[in-house]
Structure 1
Amino acid sequence: MQLVIAAMLLRHAAAFRPRASVRQRLTTQLRAATTSLRFDAKQTSADTTVYVGRKDRLLALNNDALPAVWQPLVESCSPGDAGKSARTAMPKGDGLETVVAAVLPEHCSRHNSPLRPRALTSLVGGACGSKDAAVVVLLEDGSTPAAAAAAVAKAFPIYTNKKASDEDEDEDRTVTVSFEPPVADAATLNACAVAADAVRLAQRIHDAPPNEMGPTQLVAEAEAVASRGDGISITKIVGEELREKGYGGVYGVGKGAKEPPALVVLTKTFDREGPAAALVGKTICFDTGGLSLKISGGMVGMKADLGGGAACLAGFEAACALGGGELSALHCVLCIAENAIGNDALRCDDIIKFFGGRTCEINNTDAEGRLVLADGVAHATAPNVLPGKRVDIVVDMATLTGAQMVATGKNHAAVFSNSEELERKAVVAGRRTGDLVHPLPFAPEFYRSEFASKVADSKNSVKDRMNAQSSCAANFIYENLWEGWDGEWLHVDLAGPATDNERGTGFGVALALGLFGVEGFK
């Protein structure tokens, strides 16, 4: 019997709707997706069929469904560095079927993934048209179907708020993905569906505007993940309770906004021995820069400042659904706030105190991500705060610095770690999953002096902006790990790869799944 795992990915677009009090504050509502993804053991028939792979693999295909002009069609493509596609039509019943040859780049450097993820996403997105489509991915050695599924999913973001017209009523379509060589294992196909679902959830949270995805709705998204999962617990510290309990970073950044800031923690335990881990996400729903106001258009697009938190939440849900890999427990700590201007906004020269006990003199309110993460990583590493055993691994994800794009570019996130082994594991996971990362230098003794303060334990922004800004910002977070905690910590600055052409990419989801070795990403 044919094995079919269907991932009807519309459920995240409509699985959770805001409570009435939140909905009344929204000017528009989230629309359901018009594209669902399905992962199948066999190629299916569709209006458009896309074969995507390297040229020699495409030429070697032996498939009765291919048109007679297949070989010259493939040969006509010169993929270069970005890939190239060509299409033709062939009879199908009373009509025509479109067949597309999508040729991936031939060259793959040692710092790229054999999957060629960026080209794969771009080619599939441009080739599938607007009707039902079938995508056949010709897997490379070292590439996993689930990683390819995540790359395909990035081509089909969910969120839209365009006005629907009468012509749009029949827009809903299905894109069915299969692999060559064929993948018939139910667990692998399920991992493909779960990973794709998670990528699109992260994209939806990223793409929704701040008037729809404010702090209150972000808390609701976390609640929805807890309700969908089996055995996931959730705790919330919101508004003035943050101040009372000593979370001066999250509270300080968010207290000037209309909606209260929050620290939300989700937890799932697994029936095995193994390390416990925490994902900690910077979840700034909009960043004005605060009183250190962003100018000259720098504020546009700052809804994307929750990209790290979106990846953590979606990655957490997927990791739990796929059994947690090697972990005995997984936590997700979301540091949620809006960095707004108001009567109670954080000021330069203010001094705040973090959950871990350190104090900070504010010299730049636009360096707010590190402030909320200081509380987040302290919460994750403090004794007897998270349920269960103390965590062994902390991974924080954040759109932290524009300097990341100068250091590692728009296709590689930057990683900064106190553990050479975890750093190496992240690089390997990035190449296997397509969420590429590259290390920054880890040398705290070179960076601490950048934050020197006469009146507090540190300032929050560097003196010398030419001295490894991304490493300095990451080191600020490192200094706020709970004193005496001796685990492994990894910071992921994904400011560049989190967004592409004004859309969220879901970057970080597959990386987390690869780091933790969950089903389909081992």
Structure 2
Amino acid sequence: MRLLYSAQALRRLFSRSYSSRIGKMATDIRINASLSASDPQAHPVLIIGQLRHLNLLKFDNLSSKLCPRVTEETFLNAIACLHPAPTDKVSLYLDVATVASLPLKASRHNTASRAHAITRLVKNHVLNVSEESVVLVCERENIFASACAVVRAFPLYSRKTGNGAQAKSAPGGSGSGDGDNSRNVVNVEFVVIDKDGGIESDPLTADEIKCLNETARGIRLTARIVDMPCNEMNVDHFVQAIEEMAQELSLEPQIIRGEELRERGFGGIYGVGKAAAVPPALVVLSHQPKGAQETIALVGKGIVYDTGGLSIKNKTGMPGMKRDCGGAAAILGAFYAAVKCGFKDNLHAVFCLAENSVGPNATRPDDIHTLYSGRTVEINNTDAEGRLVLADGVCFANKDLKANIILDMATLTGAQGVATGKYHGAILTNSETWEAKSLQAGRKSGDLLAPIIYCPELHFSEFASAIADMKNSVADRQNAQSSCAGIFVAAHLGFDYHGVWMHVDMATPVHCGERATGYGVALLLTLFGSHTNSALLQSIAPTEEEPPTKRLCRD
């Protein structure tokens, strides 16, 4: 039986065969409609699936990826050897042909696709050679989340000197299937299990391939922006990335910058960013197709670096604050992919961009700012800046864009990680129906969500001020901080807002270790999938199931 070769033997083989290629190239992702024929010795293959799905496979279903190196006997013995706890993998031929099993169980708060396990397996077991394949064995409803999970394993940004070409590519570059011969290629292919346990013979449609490719580009664009340090991704650079994307989509961005923000009443964005060398900005992209029935606004917090301002962070709390633009980056990636997938309603992306810096013009604790809502805010913590820029953004979405659905996304509070953990973003909303939809979209996309308390009548008093309409930071830091931060944003929209407002705090799932995850793109595309022309997104969009009590909580 030609089963397991040791990892040491594999490394020796590849040090001879592929030493000139490992670690020197960026990676393109190519999503194929069906399995392509390849010899694993030349093009390694990683097969991933749930054990119950792998047991349904016949050797003929995968022979095009395994022959002539792997026999049917070896393949069947390998499947029999899998004992996931929570995952497991068996080498079929050296480690250039590998089969891996996903966790047996997924709880009701997890995604059925086991997306996080897919990402870990891909990161750990791809070989980073010139061309290889990842074959996903899954049900049709998990194609989207599984593909996104693979994409997250291949970040674009690097300044390592061995990755010169990668490091110098433009911020808006896709890194996905551009045909550059100097880059590694990962083929993502599917074996689809039908509801009766059979193997679907039809390849993915052109519509499905397009949706997956545009989503992949959106995720990688988002992760790239979040990974870039502020000296390469300041407000100017972020605006440039938006302008480049707008040009590709044949749109004209609206840009309000610097002193014009102050003159037009955007006291939140201006107050946060006025001390930085690069002035703050509010940038709006608008997609307005004929026949639109609804107006949806996506508002992103884009703090390109957060020192904390004069309420400065300490030396261990500040590193990593380049990621504080994760909400705005996700909005950009999702907006791009949504438009490419044929968004049928009005869709606006509102980017609230600033650097929370320290300088002679910095906002001081005790300063009072008037925000775009017209309400005054006494600053008692300059490190609670994200809610200030978001407050201007959601108010603009309501007053100027007339949006009836507003979703803001932000790396808002460290408390989010305590409340909902490293994998689940927090969803706060005035609509019980849309809360249920958001949770469902999280499970379908792999960008998980968990609800937090929406109760302004109990929490808004945390911001009480003797001299202004409110303070910007809570009095009691033990009282549902993530909920309170979101409630502050809602206060400027107005608790009597008759539309749907959703707030996603994704401070922790925006990254895994030292790399960005691209969190938010797949979530938003799934949540609003029914508003697109993509059959794939429509198939996974949240259903109209009503929660136990369907109501808007605005009394």
Q: Do the two structures share a fold, i.e. TM-score over 0.5?
A: yes
Give the counterpart of 2:90 among 86, 90, 94. 86
In the TM superposition, 1:57-456 aligns within 5 A as: 57-64=53-60, 65=63, 66=66, 67-68=70-71, 69-81=74-86, 83-89=87-93, 98-131=96-129, 132-140=131-139, 142-143=141-142, 145-164=143-162, 172-181=183-192, 183-230=203-250, 232-324=251-343, 327-382=344-399, 385-386=400-401, 390-456=402-468
Distance across 2 between alignment mates of 1:483 and 1:49: 54
SS of the counterpart of 1:267? strand
For residue 170 of structure 1, report the CA deviation from its aligned partner. Answer: 8.0
Structure having the higher Rg: 2
User: Structure 1 stretches of 5 or more lacking a match?
Assistant: 1-31, 91-96
Paired AA for residue 249 in structure 2: G
Distance across 2 between alignment mates of 1:241 and 1:76: 66
For residue 74 of structure 1, report the CA deviation from its aligned partner. Answer: 3.1
Deviations 1:411-461 (A, max 9, x none): 110000001111111111111111110111110011111000001000000
The verdict on how the C-alpha distance between 1:393 and 1:402 changes in structure 2, with shifts beyond 3 A counting, is same
Deviations 1:354-381 (A, max 9, x none): 1011110000000000010010000001
User: Structure 2 stretches of 5 or more lacking a match?
Assistant: 1-23, 167-179, 193-201, 539-555
For residue 55 of structure 1, report the CA deviation from its aligned partner. Answer: 1.3
Moved more, 357-366 or 163-172: 163-172
Paired AA for residue 304 in structure 1: R
CA contact (8 A) 1:395 1:491 kept: yes
SS of the counterpart of 1:139? strand
Match of 2:33 in 1: 41
SS of the counterpart of 2:59? coil
Paired AA for residue 407 in structure 2: V
For residue 87 of structure 1, report the CA deviation from its aligned partner. Answer: 2.1
For residue 150 of structure 1, report the CA deviation from its aligned partner. Answer: 1.4
Deviations 1:319-376 (A, max 9, x none): 000011xx42000000000001111111100000110111100000000000100100
Paired AA for residue 295 in structure 2: A
For residue 272 of structure 1, report the CA deviation from its aligned partner. Answer: 2.9
Match of 1:22 in 2: none
Q: Percent of aligned pairs with the same residue?
A: 44
Match of 1:56 in 2: 52
For residue 248 of structure 1, report the CA deviation from its aligned partner. Answer: 0.5
Paired AA for residue 413 in structure 2: T
Paired AA for residue 57 in structure 1: H
CA contact (8 A) 2:410 2:505 kept: yes
For residue 125 of structure 1, report the CA deviation from its aligned partner. Answer: 2.1
For residue 136 of structure 1, report the CA deviation from its aligned partner. Answer: 1.1
For residue 167 of structure 1, report the CA deviation from its aligned partner. Answer: 13
SS of the counterpart of 2:124? helix
Distance across 2 between alignment mates of 1:337 and 1:167: 29
- In the superposition, the TM-score normalised over structure 2's length comes to 0.83
For residue 126 of structure 1, report the CA deviation from its aligned partner. Answer: 1.9
Distance across 2 between alignment mates of 1:399 and 1:363: 20
For residue 269 of structure 1, report the CA deviation from its aligned partner. Answer: 1.2
SS of the counterpart of 2:467? coil
- In the superposition, the TM-score normalised over structure 1's length comes to 0.88
Distance across 2 between alignment mates of 1:33 and 1:481: 47
CA contact (8 A) 2:369 2:376 kept: yes
SS of the counterpart of 1:479? helix
Moved more, 364-373 or 476-485: 476-485
Distance across 2 between alignment mates of 1:246 and 1:469: 27
SS of the counterpart of 2:112? coil
SS of the counterpart of 2:477? coil
Paired AA for residue 185 in structure 2: T
Distance across 1 between alignment mates of 2:44 and 2:293: 46
Distance across 2 between alignment mates of 1:235 and 1:53: 45
SS of the counterpart of 1:348? coil
CA contact (8 A) 1:149 1:195 kept: no
CA contact (8 A) 1:286 1:304 kept: yes
CA contact (8 A) 1:114 1:142 kept: no
Match of 1:94 in 2: none
Distance across 2 between alignment mates of 1:308 and 1:166: 28
Distance across 2 between alignment mates of 1:77 and 1:71: 10
Paired AA for residue 177 in structure 1: V
SS of the counterpart of 2:537? coil
SS of the counterpart of 2:352? strand
Paired AA for residue 191 in structure 1: C
CA contact (8 A) 1:283 1:310 kept: yes
Paired AA for residue 78 in structure 2: L
For residue 70 of structure 1, report the CA deviation from its aligned partner. Answer: 1.9
Distance across 2 between alignment mates of 1:484 and 1:218: 33
Deviations 1:37-85 (A, max 9, x none): 111112122621111101121232223424232233233333223x232
Deviations 1:393-414 (A, max 9, x none): 0110000001111111111100
Paired AA for residue 116 in structure 1: R
Paired AA for residue 445 in structure 2: T
Match of 2:18 in 1: none
Paired AA for residue 417 in structure 2: M
Distance across 1 between alignment mates of 2:126 and 2:163: 22
The verdict on how the C-alpha distance between 1:165 and 1:506 changes in structure 2, with shifts beyond 3 A counting, is closer
In the TM superposition, 1:487-498 aligns within 5 A as: 487-498=499-510
Distance across 1 between alignment mates of 2:76 and 2:474: 57
Measured on the aligned residues, the alpha-carbon RMSD in Å equals 2.0
Distance across 1 between alignment mates of 2:145 and 2:388: 33
Distance across 1 between alignment mates of 2:310 and 2:321: 15
Distance across 2 between alignment mates of 1:322 and 1:240: 37
Match of 2:173 in 1: none
